[in-house]
A and B are shown apart, each in its own frame.
Chain A
Amino acid sequence: NAGVTQTPKFQVLKTGQSMTLQCAQDMNHEYMSWYRQDPGMGLRLIHYSVGAGITDQGEVPNGYNVSRSTTEDFPLRLLSAAPSQTSVYFCASSYSNYGYTFGSGTRLTVV
């Protein structure tokens, strides 16, 4: 049982490049979310999903796309990277209202 797995752990992008942050969970959780964390800003919700085929926008969705074709996977796509997207990205999953399990994070730098 690996929990929530995020890849890559570190990434450097040039402005304008696109990439996909991967997230997979093996706990059969219906709820999955993506957060970004910046110093002093806490965790801000980017997109979330209530199940395969269903996604919705969070607090800061601009510049990001998501899809949920399976219960296990919830990739986050950066369409055209900008320095403002330099952050630590966390994926999380949950099966109930109780608590989310977080991945170890992806540290992204856009230069």
Chain B
Amino acid sequence: GQSLEQPSEVTAVEGAIVQINCTYQTSGFYGLSWYQQHDGGAPTFFSYNALDGLEETGRFSSFLSRSDSYGYLLLQELQMKDSASYFCAVRSSSNTGKLIFGQGTTLQVKP
């Protein structure tokens, strides 16, 4: 089976830094993805890590440690518009496109 664990809620203030952790258990592993979803909207692709280490894009970074089955999403200089749900997702096979999601972390950014 496959399972992913992430915190259900995180609260932070504007301008702060927040880290959302994700641990996973899968029979195979071909990458950890993050998706963002605003209230009432569709999930949108946010970042992807196939190899260990940090991927940075502007205010956002995503980290992966395959040996620890662990990753995190780091959001810096938080803005009100970053308030959303963030989902980690694992692809457990290289050629099926099968993507399994965690239950999501709701990030609330306060003024």
- Interface set of A (CB-CB < 8 Å, partner B): 30-33, 35, 40-45, 48-50, 56, 58-59, 90, 92, 94, 97-105
Query: Assuming A40-B103, A97-B50, A98-B48, is B43 touching A90 (CB within 8 A)?
Result: yes
Q: Is the interface of A mostly helix, strand, loop or mixed?
A: strand
Query: Assuming A97-B91, A99-B48, is B100 touching A48 (CB within 8 A)?
Result: no
Count residues of B near A (Cβ-Cβ below 8 Å).
26
A102 and B94 form a contact (CB under 8 A): no
Min CB gap A12→B, angstroms: 18
CA A94 to CA B45, docked complex, whole Å: 11
Say whether B11 faces chain A, with CB atoms less than 8 Å apart. no
- Interface set of B (CB-CB < 8 Å, partner A): 8, 30-31, 33, 35, 41-45, 48, 50, 87, 89, 91, 94-104
Which residue of the partner chain A has the closest CB to B45? A99
A59 and B96 form a contact (CB under 8 A): no
Residues on B with beta carbons closer than 8 Å to the beta carbon of A94: 97, 99
Task: Write 17 A-B pairs (CB below 8 A) sorted by A numbering.
Answer: A30-B97, A33-B97, A33-B98, A42-B87, A42-B101, A45-B98, A45-B100, A48-B96, A49-B97, A92-B99, A97-B48, A97-B94, A97-B97, A100-B35, A100-B45, A104-B42, A105-B42
Told that A42-B104, A99-B48 touch, could you supply 13 new A-B pairs with CB distance under 8 A? A41-B103, A42-B102, A43-B89, A44-B101, A48-B97, A50-B97, A56-B98, A90-B42, A92-B99, A97-B48, A97-B91, A100-B43, A100-B99
Residues on B with beta carbons closer than 8 Å to the beta carbon of A100: 35, 43, 45, 99
A33 and B44 form a contact (CB under 8 A): no
Residues on B with beta carbons closer than 8 Å to the beta carbon of A32: 97
Min CB gap B66→A, angstroms: 15
